[in-house]
Amino acid sequence: MNLELLTKLTQTFGPSGYEEEIREVLRAEVVAFADEVRVDPLGSLVVRRRGKEGGKKILLAAHMDEIGLMATYVDEKGFVRFTSIGGVRPTNCVGGRARFADGTLGAIAVEWREDATTTPALEHLYLDVGATGREDCPVKVGDPAVFVGPLEARGRRLISKALDDRIGCYVLLEVLRQLPETPHDIYFVFSTQEEITLAGARTTAFRIDPDMAIAVDVTVTGDTPKSLPMDVALGKGPAIKVKDRGMIAHPLVRDLLVAAAEKAASPYQMEILLYGSTDASAMQLVRAGVPSGCLSVPSRFVHSPSEMVDGDDVENSVRVLLAALPLA
Ligand code: CO
Ligand code: ZN
């Protein structure tokens, strides 16, 4: 694992709709390996590797946006109220920190409540950025922020904010770097706004009009205390999606990924995700329909400042995709 690269990817600011900084970081990583690089109107970074005459068009997508917070109101004492960008749970916020695009740091706190045994709602939380009033508050209504959560490795385990889905971006970068001559046209899409509307992948897939689309994203696991019953565990290989809240994976893609995992001699798991979805659910619906599926990196504590993945799962995801592309 290239921890220096993963640190850069996870720590760069990029909540949904504000992907400029992370896009420039990714662009710098891809240029040397691309036949073509472009940015679509909604901000997706599209990297093309040209195949041979008569090859297929295959789209690989990882979203570069992350969940975040957005300031909704600054009170007379300078405290900042906020709403969510994407799936932000109050229990993952309190006691944590958020950082705005200009570097402003806020402590996330909760109001005093009569009954502190219940879970607070987002409206009961606020940010203290060190201001004393509206006038000296550096945060304005509409400013976006992200969780603070540095990357650290503990053995093979990696802990950071935004592994959803910068780990997918990392996997795509590795596949791009290691991909030899290919019979197919491969489009590496670093999509925008996955966490709110899937807008980036949906529109980019429409333009590319691929024969097949594969999202690379995280999925949750069933291996933590009182987790949902789910047959996906950290460190037991990439998960091949069968079904989630938004789609049934196309059998063509699902079976291709299974065949690729076997060819690569990689461990793998079959994923049925009860809550949540990915770019694949939107990409399958463009034009007349695109056979779509998903290769998932198992992750604990998804949408918290301390998401956790296993380095072996990451490296095996790269190997499975490299094995899948020539089989498509
Ligand atoms: Co997510
Ligand atoms: Zn994701």
Answer yes or no: is pLDDT of 281 > 90: yes
Answer yes or no: is pLDDT of 73 > 90: yes
Average pLDDT over residues 172-197: 97
Rg (CA), the chain: 20
Distance CA(25)–CA(12), nearest Å, equals 8
What residues contact residue 181 under an 8 Å CB cut-off, 6+ apart?
Answer: none
Contact 293, 214 (CB under 8 A): yes
pLDDT band at 179 (very low <50, low <70, confident <90, very high): very high
Ligand of minimum distance to the alpha carbon of 86:
1
Task: Tell me the percentage of the chain whose pLDDT exceeds 70.
Answer: 100
pTM (predicted TM-score): 0.97
Between strands 157-160 and 152-154, the pairing is: antiparallel
Average pLDDT over residues 119-126: 95
Using the mean position of ligand 1's atoms as its centre, give its distance from the Cα of residue 219 in Å. Answer: 9
Q: Does domain 68-147 fall into CATH 2.40.30.40?
A: yes
Token pair belonging to 286: 């463009």
Distance CA(300)–CA(218), nearest Å, equals 9
The span from the first CA to the last CA of the chain, in angstroms, equals: 27
The per-residue pLDDT for 109 is 97
Using the mean position of ligand 1's atoms as its centre, give its distance from the Cα of residue 164 in Å. Answer: 5
Give the total residue count for the chain: 328
224 CA to centre of own chain: 21
On the question of a common fold for 3-66+161-327 and 68-147, the answer reads no
Average pLDDT over residues 129-133: 98
Distance CA(85)–CA(195), nearest Å, equals 7
Average pLDDT over residues 125-142: 98
Using the mean position of ligand 1's atoms as its centre, give its distance from the Cα of residue 217 in Å. Answer: 8
Using the mean position of ligand 2's atoms as its centre, give its distance from the Cα of residue 192 in Å. Answer: 11
Using the mean position of ligand 2's atoms as its centre, give its distance from the Cα of residue 283 in Å. Answer: 14
Q: Which residues are close to ligand 2, an ion, with C-beta < 5 A?
A: 164-165, 217
Average pLDDT over residues 121-132: 97
Q: Catalytic positions, please?
A: 194
Token pair belonging to 25: 């970081």
The per-residue pLDDT for 200 is 98
Residue 165 host element (H or E): helix 163-178
Average pLDDT over residues 157-163: 98
Distance CA(53)–CA(133), nearest Å, equals 64
The per-residue pLDDT for 116 is 85
Ligand of minimum distance to the alpha carbon of 302:
1
The per-residue pLDDT for 218 is 98
Looking up tokens 């009954």 gives 115
Average pLDDT over residues 85-91: 97
Query: What phi and psi, each to the nearest 5 degrees, are found at residue 205?
Result: -65, -35
pLDDT digits (tens, 9 = 90+) for 194-250: 999 999 999 999 999 999 999 999 999 999 999 999 999 999 999 999 999 999 999
What residues contact residue 258 under an 8 Å CB cut-off, 6+ apart?
Answer: 240, 268
Answer yes or no: is pLDDT of 181 > 90: no
DSSP state of 72: E
For the chain, the domains span: 3-66+161-327, 68-147
Token pair belonging to 63: 């979203």
Fold of 3-66+161-327: Aminopeptidase (3.40.630)
Contact 10, 161 (CB under 8 A): yes
The per-residue pLDDT for 327 is 92
Using the mean position of ligand 2's atoms as its centre, give its distance from the Cα of residue 290 in Å. Answer: 20
Average pLDDT over residues 79-91: 97
